[in-house]
Structure 1
Amino acid sequence: MNRFSQTISRALLLLCLFAGLIAAVPTAAAQSKGPPDAGTVEPFDLTGHWTGAYVRDGTTQRVTATVTVANDTPRVALTTEELVFFGRRDPVPVTRTDDGRLTFDTRYGTARVDVDSTYRELVGTVGEHEPPIEIHLKKNAPPLGPSPQTTDVTFESGDATLHGTVVTPSAPGPHPALVYVPGRGCASRGGGVRRLRWLAERGIAGLAYDNRGTGASEGSCKTSTIETESRDIRSALQVLTDREDIDASRIGLWGNSAAGWYIPHAVTRSTVDVAFVAQKVGPSTSVEAQQKDNASLIATDMGLAPADSAKMLRYVDLMFAADRPNDAVFAEMQDLLAHGDSTGWADEFLVRDPAIGDVPATAAGLDSLWARRYDYDPAEDLRQMDMPVLAFYGAEDQIVPAHENAPLMRRLLADNENARVVVVPKTGHGLGHGSKMRTLSTPQGRYDTHYWKFYRVAPDYIGPLVRFLNAHALRGDG
């Protein structure tokens, strides 16, 4: 074995899962009281900041990694620059395989890397892809500037105690701020906190909280309604208003998907003056209209026969038929569900999670359907919103279709001079561009250009959002 191989072997031995692990590796400063001389080699240490990229078919996607040690186990947190406010993923364990490689999970699959301890680089592959995805990371200095600060908070909202996290910039306040509002479901604060870290690095504070019955919050997601969602948002706004490090004149809301219903309901009933609103794929139609639009698009995509599509839409009608006897509605729903299971539309369209679902277990459970608990039309509340509003829609979104929602939103906000509606091309409900091989046609006489395009959040979403927040939250100071 040559000296280079011996160096790598010694470094990898430090990564074995024994007490001390990487944390036990002494630094050069610990070995010597003075500056190291020219012959001193600083011991390899996996912990710290790494920068690099995923590479596929010649295309790169930048990624950074921060390695720490917890309970004698190295853990890596990865951040993909192009996914911006998704933020750093939660740290995952780093393990060593029998062949001496390090492995850890990434968004594209399991990374398997070799360690160059001499030059402090990690080189390997990710997942099982064709063409392959490679990863290359280099040990580097940490980014300049302190990290955003986080503070856990508890607040009352009606009959429930909710728990959340306030994220603030490292600079002294008072800061502009917003409440992050997730969409349909029983969401904990984690995703919101990651987005708020992205905002805090740009000078804006924020609050994300666990929905009722989720995480540390009291209550039940199964019984939440449009009214309780609205109340919880208003309570969260008050939390920010009461903080000395927040500028009460610059507090807004940033919502996703179904938050497009929750936010207008909350804004027009809030005792806190909301300074600005940013909505990502938030419906401007009623809940019932959105469900019918979504069902129709799914039926078309599936190529359902007209009679089958009619049964699917009939099921939607029954979801909202609160004026009919539950026993009769439930019996008809069961027949339609059997049809939906046989033709496939039930799995494509219906949510079966009992907490947020569309399928009742009993006739009495009809009133607990998500559609009935959240039945709401935001039109009148949207007309009253006179603060700056920015609304995004995905041109290819089937859940909140742009061709229905964008024109209606423009009409409802027609009297608001500070409202803007943006349709982001080539995007669906997540406003992201999917991964795929791209072919660019070139002028005659040249070969076409082919390249692999990684998934990313659409620049046509991020750019306008940043400019909007700079103008109306930071007020030009960002």
Structure 2
Amino acid sequence: MRPALLLALLLLPLYAQAQSDVDGHWEGAFIHEGAAQRTAFAFTTQGDTLAGRWWMPEWNTAGLLREVRFHDDTLRFTRPHGEAALWLDRTTGELIGVSVEEGEPTLGLHLKRTLRPARPPVREENVTFSNGPVTLEGTLLLPDRPGPHPAFVTLHGRGPSERGWLYDVALKAAERGVAALIYDKRGSGASTGDLDAATMADLASDAFEALAVLASHPAIDTEQIGLYGSSAGGWLASYVAARSPHPIAFVATTVGPAESVYDQQLHVTEYWMRWSGTTFTEEEYAAAEAQMRRVMDLAYTGEGLEAIREANETIRDLRWAEYVVLPDSLDDPEVSWYRRHRYDPAEDLRRLAVPVLALYGGRDFIVPPEENVPKLRRYLAEAANDDVTIRVYPEADHGMWLAGQTRTISDGPDRYYQFGRYTPYVTDFIEWLIDTVEVAE
């Protein structure tokens, strides 16, 4: 046997033993300027490598760690928000170190090994369903106890999106007695189809098939099936609820628009400019709006392309150019999307008489609550719907994210660091959900 190979075999048990020193479930906090943000990690030795996962309970997010390695009592890994290096204190058995993210303050990180939290049992079933030539792949998360259970289908926002984006929402619901079907949007993940050619009606018919999966499942209460839509999925929720072959029992949306696609695009430009930090004149706002009206009219009528091309030559050099669309053909991706998703939810919302939850971010320039909340209230009032809950989270953006910043409190510490975090929108949705449906005991 070669000496190098023999040495490697002799060292392998020692390496595995070293890795196992950090195996297990760890809980603790990121620390900065006296403030703490709870977090949890889990490390597992898999052969001769170390794997890891992380959780931020208050963010309702989790993920895999990359480049996890442990050597000389130092644990290093990379997560989506930066890199971390921790030292194993063998006296206390604790991990202490720092996490660094470009452009953000260096954070202390202190972890202690604990028992893995017990979780209510949830059963997962992989599901495959079809809509014509399109095959959709998803996961049904079910409470692992006798039913039948209320349930909902999740509806993605604009662009490609896989089921994993909404897994934590579905898991939290299933742990509390409400089943959820999450699926890869057509053309995303394991689902087939061409998303770039899909219309609002196409995406709605995908959702109809997902609802049919729930309605035919023996563990689902067919009278308690609803919808949860995020961003453009809010448009889809109102569209589907008004046309579904299966009755919809409730609708919940996160940053879902209540205005038309046409008006929403005008407001994206206006609010993006207003919150950009640049002071624009009223003439500049008016000119930017005029450009977006030309673009939307082009998408809907197919006319005016030459006039837009001429205007683009001047607009490109103006300081508000980045806030508008400057198409040079009818095949421009933005123009194509507007054309395929021409929709105004007003009439559908005027007929929506089931319980509704709508959550918004106060600093969301994509779906500004100033424009959408009054319309939603008016349309649902016209539907004589008095089971409506609307909540706006001040300072939250379109992703329901609150940026980290240093704050001061009167009669308190001189300053403290407020960690960047998500609003409690997932918690609020789950609490509303279990108050709205009847969960099987």
- TM-score band, normalised by shorter chain: 0.7 to 0.9
For 1:422-475, what per-residue CA distance to the aligned partner results, in whole angstroms no more than 9, with x for missing partners? 222232222332211011133xxxx7631101122224x355423311112345
Work out whether 1:239 is the aligned partner of 2:213: yes
Equivalent position to 1:160, from 134, 139, 145: 134
Aligned partner of 1:373 in structure 2 is 340
| 1:314 counterpart = 2:283 | no
Distance 1:374 1:391 in 2: 21
Alignment of 1:131-210 (within 5 A): 132-145=106-119, 148-210=122-184
Return the offset for 1:153. Answer: 1.2
| Aligned residue identity for 1:453 | Q
Give the TM-score taking structure 1 as reference length: 0.81
The residue aligned with 1:73 is 49
Which residue, out of 421, 424, 437, partners 1:456? 421
Matches within 5 A, 1:55-454: 55-70=31-46, 72-84=48-60, 86=61, 88-96=62-70, 101-128=74-101, 132-145=106-119, 148-301=122-275, 302-322=278-298, 326=302, 329-350=304-325, 360=327, 362-365=329-332, 369-414=336-381, 415-442=384-411, 449-454=414-419
| Change in CA separation of 1:401 and 1:165 when aligned onto 2, cut-off 3 Å | same
Give secondary structure in 2 for the equivalent of 1:268.
helix
Identity of aligned residues (%): 34
Structure 1 residue 80 displacement after superposition: 0.6
In the TM superposition, residue 297 of structure 1 has moved relative to its aligned partner by 1.8
* Structure 2 unaligned regions, length at least 5: 1-8
Are the aligned partners of 2:43 and 2:52 in contact in 1 as well (CA < 8 Å)? Answer: yes
CA RMSD of aligned residues (A): 2.8
- Cα distance in 2, alignment partners of residues 147 and 213 from structure 1: 32
Structure 1 CA distance for aligned equivalents of residues 213 and 81 of structure 2: 38
1:5 aligns with none
Partner residue in 2 for 1:52:
28
Looking at structure 2, the residues matched to 245 and 19 of structure 1 have their Cα atoms a distance apart, in angstroms, of 48
**2:26 corresponds to which letter in structure 1?**
W
Q: Secondary structure at the match of 1:441?
A: coil
Which residue is equivalent to 2:4?
Answer: none
Q: CA deviation at 1:100?
A: 5.6
CA 1:375–1:111 in structure 2 vs 1: closer, same or farther (change >3 Å)?
same
Q: Give structure 1 stretches of 5+ with no counterpart.
A: 1-15, 27-42, 351-358
Task: Name which of structure 1's ranges 226-235 and 142-151 shifts more when overlaid on structure 2.
Answer: 142-151
Residue deviations 1:92-118 (CA, integer Å, cap 9, x gap): 341247x76221123431011112345
Q: 1:305 to 1:271 in 2, by over 3 A?
A: same
> Could you tell me how far apart the structure 2 residues matched to 1:340 and 1:222 are?
27
Amino acid at match of 2:49: T
Distance 1:249 1:233 in 2: 17
Distance 2:78 2:396 in 1: 27
In the superposition, relative to structure 1, how do residues 349 and 135 fare at CA in structure 2: closer, same or farther (>3 Å)? farther
SS state of the match for residue 319, structure 1? helix
